[in-house]
Amino acid sequence: MQRKCVFLDRDGVLNRERGDYTYTLEDFEVLPGVPEALALLKQNGYLLIVVTNQGGIAKGLYTRADVMACHQKLQESCGHLIDAIYYAPSHPQYSESLSRKPDSLMLERSMARYNIDTSQSWMVGDSHRDLEAAEKVGVRSIIVGDKYAPSSYTWQVLDLREAAQLILREEAK
């Protein structure tokens, strides 16, 4: 049986976007409403999968262990509701990778592993590259925040809480 999923970008969607790399526990701040939004999606049968670029690893700014510590804090802050976290440690200046968004290999790997139905799944991100990755695999997308002016994207909302409500409204149609 295929499953429905919400793919989630990390920085700017789940935790505060600092405009720089977020890799210390002190700087890693889960945004208000995120645990509740994740719980709502989970209660409605969605898998929750994080897909995040972590190019600072390739740049030597931080380590995989730093990323894992932040992901552990994220899971603890959100009641361990996240089913999987995929991250791309590459950066175009140092190493090419099809995992790094806007490419879609992180999504493709999770889709194969978890038997995900793209027609019932969503990507919630805060940048064009998140939405491009979703488009490559045929998943509907929502952009959060006001970093971009409203455009041809179907949905733009303030935060993950609004995104979760939108997903559930669309599902009910």
Annotated catalytic residues are 9, 11
Contacts of residue 37, defined as CB under 8 A and 6 or more positions apart, other chains included, come to 159, 160, 161, 163, 164
Dihedral sign for Cα 159, 78, 124, 58, please: positive
DSSP state of 145: S
Tokens of residue 134, six digits = 């979703």
Give, in degrees to the nearest 5, the angle at Cα 6 between 148 and 11.
45
Residue 106 exposed, middle or buried by CB count within 10 Å (0-12, 13-18, 19+): buried
User: Hey, is 80 helix, strand or coil?
Assistant: coil
Cis check for the bond before 92: say yes or no (omega within 30 of 0): no
